[in-house]
Structure 1
């Protein structure tokens, strides 16, 4: 059997990869393809043999020194043929020289350790069919993200992410169906958050807040805007207030990953991260 050929995905192939992700139970967002492509058009790889697409992986460049690996899928009929290894090697070659992050599912974490990745913390997905919004008493005012300068949102995001990602962020804020809210502060934003419709329900991420009141105000605003169906929030386990907020809303753990890094560990203020943007791009 001939080895697979690895090449960069075309934009339209990202829609197919999202179908594969949905088949794996990952519940992608309805507008993810365009947003992901905006982050790094060359960052998505596909394996094929004789014109048949076999699997994919993302190796996205964020800024000059950081990268994120995700979207790692080999279609079931083609597993056990070395395709996953070929995709992994191509992805790591594209990310060479960078600090690399990933969110590893439980079954693959030992493999990632053998490849040089170190566990830093768990991320927990919380979800509920109808979460209870926090009470508004004492919470700060929330505005549409479009009502504040984009530079303020980008600065708020950069404070909790290892690199600049403005092209992705612009797409994420403006994608069809996405709802973005912000909490203004005296010296910049106290926080911002985005809700996106998914194939099942909605996901909130990122949710960045300087304090618990701002986090709860953003959660309440986005739950008010959420369409019918379950809502999910991916949060870092080392932020105890984020866990408490999710539980107060009646959400329960439904999934987990391990945030792992190779080449160094970014120093991130996890106490300000109440919701991770996505497991595919960080």
Structure 2
């Protein structure tokens, strides 16, 4: 695909995926160190790179889920080429790839007006909360009677995938399997009488270790998962992107000593999907939803 003189758009390679992660880190987004390996299986053709005279200068992800949903992320133009039209060409290519689908994204504050001009509407804000909950002296909490916190790898994957569908518009089994199973991260599930009632994943980043998703049947289960996940990090410092449409979630994390540091807007091109926001204490990923 050609555009401005010397500018081409094509699919990302494995080396490009590592570069995208570095660019996102330079933007202050602190993606997980190994997230790209799960991203690649979500939709192998969903990551686009713009090259100027062969050199990567911009990127975007336009990932398809199922038959009717897509998610935009990783929308970055290098600082030295901004304002020259390369980013908007890449944006159009990404949106064209998702044509006919409901499209979601998590927009940084400075881009939200531009997204509205492209037909996106705000649904809620995701507010990143960071801190070291264990430093507050909080012991790992006991959950309600009958709830066990277990290694998610011991739970039949079909149950995990069915549980995830309460919080996401389309099945994403391949992505989820990679997301919970990659080396170097910890995935825990809350189980009661054989039913999944919570799921949390923590993975290392360049800053605070990232927790996402954090799903739970109630605040007590969410707190137990978060504290046990924090125990698995090098220094106990974690970051969770919390939907402000679930006020009890923000109150819980604030009570555990985490403070807001960063904010994005979850936006959609059409009707907001019917998700279980009351069980969503932390979104999975700002890049892929």
Comparing 216-225 and 243-252, the one that deviates more: 216-225
Deviations 1:161-212 (A, max 9, x none): 1010010001111112110000112362011110011011301000111222
**Are 2:246 and 2:278, in contact at CA under 8 Å, matched by a contact in 1?**
yes
**How much does 1:11 deviate?**
2.0
Q: What is the TM-score when the length of structure 1 is the normalising length?
A: 0.96
Choose the corresponding residue for 1:264, options 268, 271, 285: 271
**How much does 1:138 deviate?**
4.6
Alignment of 1:102 onto 2:109: no
Choose the corresponding residue for 1:136, options 119, 141, 155: 141
Alignment of 1:49 onto 2:52: yes
Choose the corresponding residue for 1:23, options 12, 23, 26: 26
Q: What is the aligned partner in structure 1 of residue 212 from structure 2?
A: 205
Alignment of 1:251 onto 2:258: yes
Q: What is the aligned partner in structure 1 of residue 93 from structure 2?
A: 90
Query: 1:101-120 counterparts in 2 under 5 A?
Result: 101-120=104-123
Report the Cα distance in structure 1 between the residues aligned to 2:115 and 2:68, rounded to whole angstroms.
20
Deviations 1:129-176 (A, max 9, x none): 455446524543200001111111111101111010010001111112
Report the Cα distance in structure 2 between the residues aligned to 1:167 and 1:118, rounded to whole angstroms.
29
Alignment of 1:234 onto 2:241: yes
**How much does 1:213 deviate?**
2.0
Alignment of 1:155 onto 2:162: yes
Q: What is the TM-score when the length of structure 2 is the normalising length?
A: 0.94
Question: Gaps (5+ residues) in structure 1?
Answer: none
Comparing 4-13 and 54-63, the one that deviates more: 4-13
Q: What is the aligned partner in structure 1 of residue 196 from structure 2?
A: 189
**Are 1:177 and 1:197, in contact at CA under 8 Å, matched by a contact in 2?**
yes
**Are 2:133 and 2:227, in contact at CA under 8 Å, matched by a contact in 1?**
no
What secondary structure is seen at the aligned counterpart in 2 of 1:214? helix
Report the Cα distance in structure 2 between the residues aligned to 1:235 and 1:197, rounded to whole angstroms.
18
Give the paired residue count: 282
What secondary structure is seen at the aligned counterpart in 1 of 2:148? coil
Report the Cα distance in structure 2 between the residues aligned to 1:267 and 1:106, rounded to whole angstroms.
24
